[in-house]
Amino acid sequence: MHHFEEELTCSICYSIFEDPRVLPCSHTFCRNCLESVLQLSSNFSIWRPLRLPLKCPNCRSIVEIPPSGTESLPINFALKAIIEKYQQEDHPDVATCSEHYRQPLNVYCLLDRKLVCGHCLTIGKHHGHPIDDLQSAYMKEKETPGKLLEQLTDEHWTNVCLFIEKLEEQKSHCENIVQEDKKAVLQYFKKLNDTLEHKKQAFLAALDEVNESSLCLNYCTRLFFLVFI
């Protein structure tokens, strides 16, 4: 990610700042991110003090938040103006998230093996997934093919070749079975067709005989009437 974009990115949610608020230690975070951190801290306290202690996620120093909460923290207007101007401009060289408007793809999700934005990690479907920074993820992925090749020793490569050869034999065997079944099906239907054709011819011959017998009977009947009546 470009260095300028890093300056506009919250170190908690890895997204472009939304409603940036400044802590007493001068570090800036999204107000919603501070609310989440504050809520997490208060869950471990059995009483609510007049001023809420908060450990800065950046410098780890303890700062105090007024009782009214993060809403009372000062807004980083200068940073907010820069972000608004930045978001109004087109940045074709910057890859942005398709699900979250103008959020840069600046984090690598180790579980799904893809680039995501900060909102994907905090409110999206990648929430809770293990992540890595882009540089570290790039170096690891770059080294992966070399490590795989190193693992392919002569013994492993021989095993791989034997496995491929076995798969080819199984493939050939399956193809032969399919061809034999195909021949059996063709022979069955040919035999069935011959049987049906034979029965058809037998029925037609029987009908012809009945037809001839009927004509002969009609002729005899007419001859009888002509002779004796």
Domain spans in the chain, listed from the N-terminal domain onward: 153-229
Answer whether residue 78 shows pLDDT above 70: yes
Selection from 103, 145, 159, 153 nearest residue 126 by Cα: 103
Answer whether residue 158 shows pLDDT above 70: yes
Task: Please tell me the distance from the alpha carbon of residue 11 to that of residue 14, in angstroms, as a whole number.
Answer: 5
* 133 or 10, greater pLDDT: 10
Q: pLDDT by residue (tens digit) across 177-225?
A: 999 999 999 999 999 998 888 888 888 887 777 777 766 666 666 655 5
Collect all residues with Cβ–Cβ distance below 8 Å to 5 and sequence separation of at least 6. Answer: 16, 94, 104, 106
**How high is the pLDDT of residue 226?**
57
| Residue 51 · residue 66 · CB < 8 Å | yes
**How high is the pLDDT of residue 134?**
63
Q: pLDDT by residue (tens digit) across 8-33?
A: 888 888 888 889 999 989 899 999 88
Alpha helices in the chain (DSSP H): 3-7, 31-42, 77-88, 118-122, 134-151, 154-228
| Residue 56 · residue 71 · CB < 8 Å | no
* 207 or 120, greater pLDDT: 120
**How high is the pLDDT of residue 9?**
85
- pTM for the structure as a whole: 0.45
**How high is the pLDDT of residue 54?**
82
**How high is the pLDDT of residue 21?**
92
Task: Please tell me the distance from the alpha carbon of residue 157 to that of residue 167, in angstroms, as a whole number.
Answer: 15
**How high is the pLDDT of residue 46?**
45
| Mean pLDDT, the chain, integer | 78
**How high is the pLDDT of residue 2?**
52
Q: How many CB atoms lie under 10 A from the CB of residue 13?
A: 23
Answer whether residue 118 shows pLDDT above 80: no
Confidence bin at 44 (pLDDT 50/70/90): very low
**How high is the pLDDT of residue 20?**
92
- Rounded to the nearest 5°, which phi and psi values hold at 53? -75, 145
**How high is the pLDDT of residue 1?**
45
